[in-house]
Amino acid sequence: MSNVLTLEIPISGMDCAECTQHVQHAIEKLPGVQSVNVFLATEKAIIQLDPDQVDIPHIRTAVQNAGYDIPASNSPQPDPASMGDFNRRLTVLLVSVFAIILSVVIFGEGLGLFDFLNDRVPFLLGLALVIAGGYPVFMNVIRAALRRQVISHTLMTLGVIAALVVGQWVTAALVVIFMRIGEYVENFTTESARRAVKELTTLAPQTARVERDGAEVEIPIHEIKVGETIIVRPGEKIAVDGEVVSGQATIDQSAITGESMPIEAASGTHVFAATIAKLGSLRIRTERIGVDTTFGRVVKMVEEAEAHRADVQRIADKFSAWYLPVVAVVAALTFLISHNPLSTAAVLLVACSCSFALATPVAMLASVGASAKRGLLIKGGKYLELLARADVLLVDKTGTLTLGQPRVTDVVSLNGLSRVEILTLAASAERYSEHPLAEAVRSLARDENISILEPQDFEAVPGLGVRAIINHQRIVIGNRRMIPTDGTLTIAAELESQGKTLLFLESNDQLVGILAAADTLRAEVPTALEAVRNLGIRHIELLTGDNENTASMLAEKLGVSYRANLLPENKINIVKEYQAKGHVVVMVGDGVNDAPALAQADVGIAMGAAGADVAIQAAHIALMREDWCLVPEVLRIAQRTMRIVKMNLAFTTLYNIVGLSLAAFGILPPVLAAAAQSLPDIGIMGNSARLLKQK
């Protein structure tokens, strides 16, 4: 059996979805290549191949024959952060130059200057200028023709040839100028969408200080070993995922969670790569490095989001492939009916297939990249489109709607003991218990500054409770099986009807108190669910393994339906049940127990996924912090993204129909047709850029 090797190689020269298709087809034809994914956003290809049949030189040759290149791995890459001002200035420059040239063209056409140049300048000199100016574009067209491919510049090149055939070299030269401007605009449009993704990679440090042989040594990130201790000083970025072994610092985790509020880190705190230590220094034991860190997995997931293309993007790609032959037919009919070569050239020049190809991916890339910087990881446009159409929301309870940590809600005295006395006895008896309810009791005592005494003769009874001696009193605290009570205890029945778990407290064989605990609902959940309803998801259902009482109380409070006593496989069946009825199902869970249901749902959203491998792998969307307000936020992002995509497609469709019609009827001359060809790309760029600045 042959070995399978996965290669990740950079590709330069791609500026639209059509380019990625050309590269993908060129590599797929090589023997030994099993699968190829080409990504426009990160300008790379991920290839699975048999190394015995194909290698990098073969791939490089195939890519170069397709009109693109594989740059050297050590080629300097521009810093995306430093490119922002340059790109803004370039935009102003391009628009200004375009406006000036367009004005000159309009006035020159009106004053007859172009006819004057055609008459006075030798045709061969004009032809040389056209060839020199359009040489790179013409070569791409020739290479594509040799591969039996038609690209967007093929039609414009035919328009240039048509203008030259009728002796209009000035028109051909101006068309070449607009072709080159259009090429720069397309590159700039794509690069603007890429920037949001590329900026993520600049957040990680490239070096770190490591303790080796009693000294601090600064080394590249890839040389750090798991288990080594790194030193982070105030204001520096943390280079690894790990556990703080000493020191204190305020950590800005916005690169991972999108949360602006920092956290306090001390010994035992787990920290993430690409976060910033402020107001303190730390020594951190390395647990993960490079691509294995939470930040590394975030970047990889965002980079590969293109692989999960939305259906609307696939439709646009197919339409783009058919569009050029349709334009060729329209041009042929124009010539047959009008016998006017300039009108025919104008039809070929005004057609803009790249705008169709860019309409969806530019918006998706902008949305995915901008969302990632805010702690919302979206695995691809496919899930944005599905989320925008969702009509059913299924929600896990423990750790998702609730904090996943029980808290004492009621302290009831049954024989005159004070609240402080009951909590003192209960917390002291539970001092060494590892049960979550014991921690809830101790936590409440600490919050109320109640002393926790040292117990004597401590005994934990699994599944029941504990026994201990406190101040010479025999203390027992546990459930009904540990401390049987008669059915006349009204307060106990009332608390249990509210879905709370009870702990009964005995002192010297006398029942003296009851403590009730419950898993606390996240404070923002009611508001977030109301926002979800306002966004069009009408059916919300709570899924939980808890009992009927607990589930019904919470469901009634939130105004949702529920199903209780569920196992993980039951949740999967419920997802399938809704899908069988034609619903688009969103499942929100904590990404651990709910991983199968998250994967089965049309869109699985994992809550609080920072540092959790299972959550990031199982879900289609990962919310890096535990904040329910992010659920309606990601819904809004999906709906807004799809509105932008539809606007892009509608605009470019209408624009091309109007342009082709005006050109076919001889109203739009070739020069203006070439100028008009670049405008849809600018419109798409401006419209999609709004997604980079979502509030």
Q: What is the pLDDT of residues 134-172, one digit of tens each?
A: 888 888 788 777 777 766 677 778 778 877 887 777 777
Give the separation between CA 688 and CA 678, rounded to whole angstroms: 16
Once rounded to an integer, what is the mean pLDDT over residues 312-335? Answer: 76
Give the separation between CA 635 and CA 342, rounded to whole angstroms: 49
Lowest mean pLDDT among 67-76, 414-423, 555-564: 67-76
Give the separation between CA 411 and CA 310, rounded to whole angstroms: 54
Of the pLDDT bands very low, low, confident and very high (cuts 50, 70, 90), residue 78 is very low
Residue 353 has pLDDT above 80, yes or no: no
Of the spans 181-185, 195-199, 235-239, which averages the highest pLDDT? 235-239
pLDDT for the residue 198: 64
Residue 613 has pLDDT above 80, yes or no: no
**Measured torsion, CA atoms of residues 239, 244, 247, 248, in degrees rounded to the nearest 10:** 90
* Amino acid type, 676: A
Per DSSP bridges, beta strands 241-252 and 376-378 are unpaired
Give the separation between CA 199 and CA 57, rounded to whole angstroms: 30
Query: Where are the strands (E) in 197-350, listed by range?
Result: 207-212, 215-220, 229-232, 241-252, 263-265, 270-271, 276-288
Q: Report the mean per-residue pLDDT for the chain.
A: 80
Q: Which tokens sit at 668?
A: 């739009």
pLDDT for the residue 97: 53
pLDDT for the residue 668: 85
- The better pLDDT of the pair 40, 434 is held by 434
Give the separation between CA 402 and CA 400, rounded to whole angstroms: 5
Place of tokens 């590969």: 304
pLDDT for the residue 85: 47
Residue 9 has pLDDT above 50, yes or no: yes
Of the spans 80-94, 204-218, 590-604, which averages the highest pLDDT? 204-218
| Structural domains of the chain, with CATH | 5-65 (3.30.70.100), 82-198+303-363+640-693 (no CATH), 207-238+240-288 (2.70.150.10), 379-402+522-630 (3.40.50.1000), 405-521 (3.40.1110.10)
DSSP state of 398: I
DSSP state of 399: I
pLDDT for the residue 75: 45
Q: Would you give the distance in Å from CA 207 to the centre of its chain? A: 26
pLDDT for the residue 296: 79
pLDDT for the residue 388: 93
- Transcribe 42-87 into DSSP letters: TTEEEEEE-TTT--HHHHHHHHHHTT-B---TT-----HHHHHHHH
Residue 635 has pLDDT above 90, yes or no: yes
pLDDT for the residue 320: 64
Once rounded to an integer, what is the mean pLDDT over residues 55-75? Answer: 77
Helix (H) or strand (E) holding 209: strand 207-212
- Percentage helix, strand, coil, to 5, in the chain? 50, 20, 25
Give the separation between CA 555 and CA 293, rounded to whole angstroms: 37
Q: Which tokens sit at 394?
A: 């299924």
- Residue 144's nearest CA partner among 157, 127, 132 is 157
Taking every pair of C-alpha atoms in the chain, what is the biggest distance, in angstroms?
A: 117
- The better pLDDT of the pair 550, 385 is held by 385
Distances from the Cα of 378 to the Cα of 37, 344, 456, 635, angstroms: 18, 45, 54, 11
Once rounded to an integer, what is the mean pLDDT over residues 433-455? Answer: 90
Tell me the pLDDT tens digit for each residue of 374-392: 888 888 888 898 999 999 9
* Amino acid type, 588: V
Q: Given phi > 0 = left and psi -120 to 50 = alpha, else beta, which region is 258? A: left
- Residue 369 CB burial class (10 angstroms; 0-12, 13-18, ≥19): buried
Give the separation between CA 485 and CA 510, rounded to whole angstroms: 11
For residues 380 and 368, is the Cβ–Cβ distance under 8 A?
A: yes
DSSP state of 523: T
* Amino acid type, 531: A
Once rounded to an integer, what is the mean pLDDT over residues 30-48? Answer: 80
Q: Does 52 qualify as catalytic in the annotation?
A: no
- Residue 87's nearest CA partner among 185, 192, 203 is 192
DSSP state of 591: S
Give the separation between CA 481 and CA 490, rounded to whole angstroms: 18
Query: Where are the strands (E) in 490-560, listed by range?
Result: 501-507, 510-521, 539-543
Q: Which tokens sit at 183?
A: 């090429």
Catalytic residue, candidates 15, 252, 317, 396? 396
pLDDT for the residue 574: 93
- The better pLDDT of the pair 70, 113 is held by 70
* Amino acid type, 513: G
Place of tokens 């920290």: 271
DSSP-derived 3-state class of residue 396: strand
pLDDT for the residue 177: 77
- The better pLDDT of the pair 590, 76 is held by 590
Residue 412 has pLDDT above 90, yes or no: yes
Q: Which tokens sit at 685?
A: 């760029």
Give the separation between CA 293 and CA 299, rounded to whole angstroms: 10
Angle at 381 (CA atoms; ends 379, 387), nearest 5 degrees: 90
